[in-house]
């Protein structure tokens, strides 16, 4: 967590610098309040939450007669943490289930999202984390649309000794690959199966059919533990639109927000959680193999405010 704190601090600092510049003024004028509001909007916190926050902050500053910038900052921090919601359960469900007769079924994680958001990279980093915790893993390359996607996944897997189930035929049925991956995982008695999917948003009906079929056939072999939606934090409103579509078609249980390292737009965490009603569970903080971390509301806000 110390590391996450430090990394998030660096990622959010442009926002923090601006917020702190406003808050360091002794007396907050109308212009200062406008600037504060604008800063939060620019960070993609969203109009609704920003309005609520400013309103609540102004009320407290007035009622409690807060003058000390440090106290105003403390209240702002408290409110930002509440917006990000530390009470949400962000545990990633990766434990296999064991039936009464002792047979184990791996946890199955389905990873969805638009191409380019960082799905494959995220799966690679997550696999490393799981292996580091001594968990056995099988990967499924159900993004059969591009052969390169399966190659990329296989490369990540082989670096940590994890097998990838894939089809050699470009355009093969993604659901059969997903099914095969789960069956392989069960036969090998592994702990976790992670399935990568294609994310072509151009055709919503097609996407819905494909993800629906993948979910159904996996369900024949094992219950889905998680459906993780990968979103690129730098895409703002566009990312929110993606969240909406995938939320409708895929039964998302958790969000992975990638590329938080390159943006001061961390406020999207608030907006996307509200949109989908599910928590951000992981964040991507770079392209490297260790740049994935569990999300923590308090550290995240501290990062924003540094």
Q: Which residues bind ligand GDP (CB under 6 A)?
A: 113, 115-121, 258-259, 261-262, 284-287, 291
All residues at 6 or more sequence positions from 141 whose CB lies less than 8 Å from its CB, including other chains = 149, 150, 153, 154, 164, 165, 166, 167, 177, 181, 196
- Do the Cβ atoms of 144 and 198 come closer than 8 Å? yes
Helix (H) or strand (E) holding 67: none
Which is nearer to ligand GDP, 97 or 238 (by Cβ)? 238
Rounded least distance, CB 82 to ligand GDP, Å: 26
CA–CA dist 182, 120 (Å, integer):
18
Which is nearer to ligand GDP, 122 or 215 (by Cβ)? 122
CA–CA dist 272, 174 (Å, integer):
27
Three-state DSSP class for residue 294: strand
- The reply, when asked if residue 277 is annotated as ligand binding, is no
Rounded least distance, CB 125 to ligand GDP, Å: 8
Rounded least distance, CB 120 to ligand GDP, Å: 3
- The reply, when asked if residue 46 is annotated as ligand binding, is no
Rounded least distance, CB 121 to ligand GDP, Å: 3
CA–CA dist 107, 105 (Å, integer):
7
End-to-end CA distance of the chain: 16
Which is nearer to ligand GDP, 117 or 136 (by Cβ)? 117
Which is nearer to ligand GDP, 118 or 266 (by Cβ)? 118
- The reply, when asked if residue 127 is annotated as ligand binding, is no
- The reply, when asked if residue 258 is annotated as ligand binding, is yes
Which is nearer to ligand GDP, 53 or 231 (by Cβ)? 231
Token pair listed for 246: 């995938």
Rounded least distance, CB 136 to ligand GDP, Å: 23
Q: Binding-site residues, please? A: 113-120, 196-200, 258-261
Binding residues for GTP: 113-120, 196-200, 258-261
């Amino acid at each position: 967590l110390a590391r996450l704190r430090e990394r998030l601090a660096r990622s959010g600092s442009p926002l923090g610098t601006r917020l702190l510049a406003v808050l360091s003024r002794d007396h907050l004028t109308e212009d200062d309040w406008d600037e504060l509001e604008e800063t939060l909007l620019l960070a993609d916190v969203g109009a609704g939450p920003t309005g609520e926050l400013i309103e609540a902050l102004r009320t407290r500053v007035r009622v409690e007669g807060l003058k000390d910038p440090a106290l105003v900052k403390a209240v702002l921090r408290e409110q930002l943490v509440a917006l990000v919601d530390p009470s949400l359960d962000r545990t990633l469900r990766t434990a296999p289930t064991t039936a009464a007769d002792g047979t184990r079924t791996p946890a199955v994680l389905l990873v969805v999202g638009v191409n380019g958001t960082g799905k494959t990279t995220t799966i690679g980093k997550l696999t490393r984390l799981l292996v580091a915790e001594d968990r056995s893993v099988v990967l499924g390359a159900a993004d059969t649309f591009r052969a390169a996607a399966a190659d990329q996944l296989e490369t990540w897997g082989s670096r940590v000794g994890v097998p990838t189930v894939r089809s050699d035929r470009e355009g093969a049925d993604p659901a059969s690959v997903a099914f095969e991956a789960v069956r392989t995982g069960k036969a090998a008695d592994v702990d976790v199966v992670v399935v990568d999917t294609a994310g072509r948003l151009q055709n919503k009906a097609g996407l819905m059919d494909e993800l629906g079929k993948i979910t159904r056939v996996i369900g024949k072999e094992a219950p889905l533990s998680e459906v993780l939606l990968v979103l690129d934090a730098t895409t703002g409103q566009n990312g929110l639109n993606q969240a909406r579509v995938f939320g409708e078609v895929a039964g998302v249980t958790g969000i992975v927000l990638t590329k938080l390292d390159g943006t001061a737009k961390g406020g999207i965490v608030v907006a996307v959680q509200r949109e989908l009603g599910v928590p951000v569970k992981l964040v991507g903080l770079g392209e490297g193999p260790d740049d994935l971390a569990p999300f923590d509301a308090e550290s995240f806000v501290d990062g924003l405010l540094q």
